[in-house]
Structure 1
Amino acid sequence: MQRLQAFKYELMPTGEQRRNMRCFAGSCRLVFNKALALQNERYEQGEKKLGYAGLCKLLTEWRNSAETAWLADAPIHPLQQALKDLERAYTNFFAKRADFPRFKKKGQRDSFRYPDPKQIKLDQSNSRIFLPKLGWLFYRNSRRTLGVLKNVTVSQACGKWFVSIQTEREVEQPVPQATSAIGIDMGITRFATFSDGKYLAPLNSFKKHEARLRRAQRSMSRKQEFSSNWKKAKARVQRIHSRIGNARSDFLHKASHAISQNHAMVCIEDLQVKNMSRSAAGTPDAPGRNVRAKFGLNKSILDQGWSEFRRQMDYKLAWNGGYLIAVPPQNTSRTCPCCGHVSAENRKTQATFVCVDCGFEENADVVGAINVLARGHRVAACGEPVQSDRSVKQEPTEAI
């Protein structure tokens, strides 16, 4: 089977290369925004949307125009890739997989991609890579790149530049090393509770850095915008955000790797995190209740990274020969695993489950994980359809 995998490294560019990369990212951002503005204008006038070929003709005009002649300094393929990204964004929007494309802002996810592998040279023995109009760039070679190079993406984050090398290689059909199955109940007090009674404690990376981040943001708000001191304060805020994200990513990767290595089938709840973390403020006509408490709950939910954890589990299990099953989360913590009695009275407290019918007593999260595993077995054995009402707002008490 073919495996697509990306290898990300930190670049060590020279001053000139750093300036060129900022210019190239800005050029791609301008092309994307100009094309998006043009498409919006054509829509308002009742005209048909331009395709990728039509946008490429306009790109040639922009590069030859006196107003945007500096676009010719950037490599052409990353500029064309920006138009392809816009076309893909429209496709995802019409397929209801994403929101409508938005304009890009300077300093937010600055990146550009080289889609043609023939123009790229990778010298792993000397830890360097050749990119058009940038030359040879050294990078921190933390691990060896495997497979045939397909494309390269250069991105900027927290003042540092990174290169992501996507490769493709042929691997043998994976066979799971383990044969066990396990159910997982996601939560806040316990990040992941397993059906065998074990659990993972949460990291809460944002909560650990929240006070420090608050002080840095307060200091930044007192500076004159775009002054030298304001830029230094902004860099401090970015470093804290980067540390929070890196810590969370490291925790999720280690947890998902260990679970995918030790289990052939993993059953989890099909949680709709976007609905669960929706604001309770309401509208001026119909204001919400307990807004402050719901705000704190939303912050705790988003600090866990449930969606990213599910994404990592999905592909890591596939790489190891296992598979992931997502089941509806309704009443998983209110159903007795012994007699099957379903009642909200079974869970009078957040942590304890006591069945009002048969008297079975256990931790509520463990009960939820056991029921998730049972539903997963029914899906795997009988093909029971897994459906969850995405239009109904889920109760956060089912996940915490």
Structure 2
Amino acid sequence: MPRLQAYKYELMPTGEQQRKMRRFAGSCRFVFNKALALQKERHEQGEKKLGYAGLCKLLTEWRNSSEMAWLADAPVHPLQQTLKDLERAYANFFAKRANFPRFKKKGQGDSFRYPDPKQIKLDPPNSRLFLPKLGWLRYRNSRDVLGTVKNITVSQSCGKWYVSIQTAREVAQPTPQGDAVGIDMGIARFATLSDGTFFAPLNSFKRHETALRKAQQAMSRKTKFSNNWKKAKARVQRIHSRIGNARRDYLHKTSTTISQNHAMVCIEDLQVRNMSKSAAGTADAPGRNVRAKSGLNKSILDQGWFEFRRQLDYKLAWNGGWLIAVPPQNTSRTCPCCGHVSAANRQTQARFECVECGFEDNADVVGAINVLRAGHARLACEVSGAVMPPAAGTHRSDSGAAQCRA
């Protein structure tokens, strides 16, 4: 079976190479914003949107013009890939998968992509790679690159440059290991499995919140865009980077452990965006318990539930398993023994006691058991061909489940 996989490394460029990469990223950002402004202008005038081929013709004119001759200093392929990104953004908008494309801002998501593997040279023994108009760059070679190189993306984050190498290779069809398990996501417990085991939350943001607050307060006291302000901003960025890296590391380790030990994972189809909405309300209809809801929203977003689900999805597929998302309604209020559904069954946040039959257990474990049962029911409907209404916002793992089972 084919497998696409990306390997990310930190680059160690020279000063001249860093200046070139900043210029290349700026050129890509300029082309994206100019093309987006052109598309919006054509729409306001009632003209048809230009396709990728039409934008590429304009890009050639821009590079050959005297006003934008500096665009010729950047490699042409990354500039064309920027136009492809804009075309994809429009396609996602019309398919209602994303919002309307927005103009890019300097310092946010600076990157550029080389799509032609013939122009790329990889030298792992010497920990270096060759990119057009950049020459040989050294990188921190932490692991081997497996497969054939398809494209390379260079990106900047918190003052550091990274390279992501996407490869393709054929792997043997994996055999799933382990049994089925249900997962109940929470805050007091990050993930509780139906077999009773659970993973404690990392709370990466909460651990660094005091240091982040002090760094932001120090930054606010500096004159904007001064040298001291830039130094203070860099400190804030480093703390944010530390928070994100710690969270990603924890999610990767947890999702790897679960995917390697279970053939089927059933998870709640949580709508995190709706769950973390502000309770402030409006001036005419102000909300209630706004401060408490704000703290709850912060804790929810600190867990990284959707990223955890995304990682589980592809890692289970790599190991031959599959992920099933089920509706989360009443999973922690339904008795797994008699099936009685009542809000009174959940005595406290952690304690479950059925008012009908007296069954007692941890509320998160009960939720995980009910999630597993709902996953089995969903799987039985798919196998028998019966129609079962999908969970709201069904994830692509449901469509890939049949492929994994085939």
TM normalised by structure 2 equals 0.94
Deviation digits for residues 264-291 of structure 1, max 9, x if unmatched?
A: 0111000010111111112222221111
Partner residue, 1:51: 51
**What is the one-letter code of the residue matched to 1:216?**
A
Identity percentage of aligned residues: 80
In structure 2, the CA distance between the partners of 1:280 and 1:133, relative to structure 1 (3 Å rule), is same
Aligned residues: 389
Structure 2 CA distance for aligned equivalents of residues 243 and 154 of structure 1: 20
Alignment partners' CA distance in 1, 2:231 and 2:100: 34
- 2:335/2:359 contact within 8 Å kept: yes
Give 1:395's aligned residue: none
Distance 1:270 1:229 in 2: 46
Could you say what the CA RMSD is over the residues aligned between the two structures, in angstroms? 1.0
Residue 199 of structure 1 aligns to which amino acid in structure 2?
F
Other-structure match for 1:220: 219
After superposition, where does 1:4-23 map in structure 2 within 5 Å?
4-23=4-23
Once the two structures are TM-superposed, the CA of residue 386 in structure 1 deviates from its matched residue by 5.1
Matches of 2:333 and 2:184 in 1, distance apart?
Answer: 13
Structure 2: give runs of 5+ residues left out of the alignment.
Answer: 394-406
Q: Which amino acid is 1:61 matched to?
A: E
TM-score for the superposition, normalised by structure 1 = 0.96
Q: 1:389 to 1:168 in 2, by over 3 A?
A: closer
Q: Distance in 2 between matches of 1:70 and 1:326?
A: 50
Q: How does 1:185-334 map to 2 (within 5 A)?
A: 185-334=184-333
Say whether 1:82 aligns with 2:85: no
Give yes or no for contact 2:269–2:392 (8 Å, CA) kept in 1. no
Please state whether the residue corresponding to 1:168 is helix, strand or coil.
strand
How many angstroms does 1:42 deviate by? Answer: 1.0
Listed one character per residue, the Cα deviations across residues 83-118 of structure 1 (whole Å, up to 9, x for unaligned) are: 000000000110011111111100011000001111
Greater mean alpha carbon deviation, residues 61-70 or residues 128-137: 61-70
Q: Which residue of 1 aligns with 2:25?
A: 25
Q: Judging changes above 3 Å, is the alpha-carbon distance between structure 1 residues 386 and 369 closer, same or farther for their aligned structure 2 residues?
A: farther
Contact 1:124 1:141 in 2 (8 A): yes
Aligned to 1:99: 99
Which residue is 2:163 aligned to? 163
Mapped contact 1:326–1:386 kept (Cα < 8 A): no
CA distance in 2, matches of 1:314, 1:335: 27
How far apart in 2 are the matches of 1:389 and 1:256?
23
- Give the SS at the match of 1:172: coil
| C-alpha contact (below 8 Å) 2:222/2:229 kept by paired residues | yes
Q: Give CA-to-partner distance per residue, 1:9-39, whole Å, 9 cap, x none.
A: 0000000000000000000000000001111
Distance in 1 (CA, whole Å) between partners of 2:102 and 2:289 is 32
Q: Whole-Å Cα distance in 1 between the matches of residues 177 and 346 of structure 2?
A: 37
Alpha-carbon distance change, 250 to 386 in structure 1, aligned in 2, over 3 angstroms: farther
Kindly provide the amino acid, as one letter, of the partner of residue 75 in structure 1.
P
Answer whether contact 1:334 1:344 (CA < 8 A) is retained: yes
For residue 372 of structure 1, what is the amino acid of its counterpart?
A: V
Distance between the aligned counterparts of 2:272 and 2:389, measured in 1? Answer: 17
Q: Which runs of 4+ in 1 moved over 4 A?
A: none
1:255 match: secondary structure: helix
Measure the CA separation in 1 of the matches of 2:57 and 2:163: 29
Aligned with 2:391 (options 385, 388, 392): 388
Contact 2:215 2:235 in 1 (8 A): yes
Would you say the 8 A contact 2:325–2:391 is kept in 1?
A: no
Supply the distance in 2 between the matched residues of 1:40 and 1:292 (Cα, whole angstroms).
40
- The amino acid of 1:388's aligned partner reads A
Alpha carbons 1:129, 1:138 under 8 Å: kept: yes
Structure 1: runs of 5 or more not aligned: 391-400
- Matches of 1:368 and 1:358 in 2, distance apart? 17
